[in-house]
Amino acid sequence: MLINVAETVVADALRGMAAVHPELTVDVERRVVVRRDAPVPGKVGLVSGGGSGHEPLHGGFVGVGMLDAACLGEVFTSPVPDQMVRAAAAVDSGAGVLFIVKNYTGDVLNFNMAAELAEDEGIQVASVLVNDDVAVTDSLYTAGRRGTGATLFVEKIAGAAAEQGAPLERVEAIARRVNEASRSFGVALGSCTTPAKGSPTFDLPSGELELGVGIHGEPGRERRAMMTSGEIADFAVDAVLEDRRPTGPVLVLVNGAGGTPLLELYGFAAEAHRVLRERGVPVARTLVGNYVTSLDMAGVSVTLCQVDDELLRLWDAPVQTPGLRWGR
């Protein structure tokens, strides 16, 4: 691994982020990343966070048009309430703060506690839970559906609404709407390796894949012999459509798990478009790349979000973060 020692891998990454992105304020010790111009007067602050190892989620999505702050935990470990309160205080302009929380037990408990603590300090807080994964209902890390790729859609679209001056109630409603309109399904072709362990976190024999894997390597629906890209697209897209059949155009996220090259991801995107075309689902926009990752896992997930003119306009609005940028 390209690291110094496992114990400092998160701090070292944050030191690098601070060196490379002067538009951000990076607190390496407390592991909080804040946009440098925060708090923006009159603007709702957006705060998210989670375990490290999913980069660019969440620290790489801090900036204009997206998050105002992110809290980072250890690898695959939730940040703590003190970090979340500190982030909320750093971005609160008096217009309130929205917590965007992936549905994992540690994240949910700690963000709920942080919301209570922040309100004790006079900060108005609303929270939205992201639970888009259709693969399983309960898993090793969560009760209910896991939060995965739709987190990017929620942070981008709600972030655009906040950037344009929408009040807290409106930003919260838009975030909930995006989550409710989104569904995801992931596939692993190989395990990830955590710095602390130094070896694969789960056993996936050569020539097999895990259908419905979670972003921490949690088991999915089933294991099968290796399939072609087209066969995987058929299975993954159909799993999403079976859970929620869109009645209008969709945003598509073809998301790499961290160890799959763009050459393969774009090939999979072509197959996903084919399946959607065959199923009569129009595509409004597609984003391809490694955005919600699982360290070096080989694999892919597909996320669909049904959009209307308002959500599409907010998606297209300018964004400038380390991990996502257009229109500026």
Q: Which residues are catalytic?
A: 54, 216
Closest CA to 88 of 122, 58, 37: 122
- Residues 284-319 as b/e (b if ≥16 CB within 10 A, e otherwise) read beebbbbbbbbbbbbbbbbbbbbbeeebbebbebeb
Closest CA to 306 of 256, 240, 257: 240
Q: List, in sequence order, every residue forming a beta bridge with 275; answer none if it has no partner.
A: none
Under DSSP, is residue 103 helix (H, G, I), strand (E, B) or coil?
coil
The tokens describing 69, both together, are 């702050």
322 near 19, Cβ under 8 Å? no
CA distance 221 to 192: 18
**Residue carrying the six token digits 């393969």:** 264
**Count of residues making up the chain:** 328
Closest CA to 297 of 41, 43, 75, 28: 75
The tokens describing 151, both together, are 């987190």
Strand 97-102 vs strand 45-52: parallel, antiparallel, or unpaired?
parallel
193 near 200, Cβ under 8 Å? yes
Residue 210 to residues 34, 60, 84, 151, 189, Cα–Cα distance (Å): 36, 28, 34, 22, 7
The tokens describing 190, both together, are 């190989």
